[in-house]
Amino acid sequence: MERLIVDTTVLVAAERAGSGLADAIGDADDVAIAAVTAAELLVGVELADGRRRNRRAAFVEAVLAEIPVEPYDVETAHAHAGLLAHTRRSGRVRGAHDLLIAATAIATRRAVVTDDAAGFDGLPGLELRSGG
């Protein structure tokens, strides 16, 4: 069993494909999402038009009901500070949300499952898994 943080890209791909959660996550793993991922998913609901909004809202509510959300706490803040310092020293810009997801994964000793490895590649202390 692996401890995993599922990145937003994996969940969005599952929602768009209409495949549901079972195809996005395995039963044998300990899966969670970062608090910022919950926010990204909820923004997607807020921005959806009327036709897609209900379907997207149902998907997001299922995600939030079934997958635990890891909070941004002091341990995550320490990991986040280390990642921010690393990216500034290296000069390689990263997405703010990607760094929050990575920090949550590091603080909770989980690997990130993503369809966007470039956003996370080379971050110290982070394990990656492909979502696709």
Question: What are the pLDDT digits (tens) for 112-126?
Answer: 999 999 999 999 999
Q: Among residues 65, 44, 67, which one has the least CA distance to residue 56?
A: 44
What is the per-residue pLDDT for 39? 97
pLDDT at 101 over 80: yes
CATH (residue range 3-125): 3.40.50.1010
Spell out where 1-132 has E strands: 3-6, 30-34, 69-70, 111-114, 128-130
Question: What are the pLDDT digits (tens) for 57-97?
Answer: 999 999 999 999 999 999 999 999 999 999 999 999 899 99
- What string of DSSP letters covers 84-113? HHHHHHHT----HHHHHHHHHHHHTT-EEE
Question: What are the pLDDT digits (tens) for 24-66?
Answer: 666 778 999 999 999 999 999 999 998 889 999 999 999 999 9
For the chain, domain boundaries:
3-125
What is the per-residue pLDDT for 23? 61
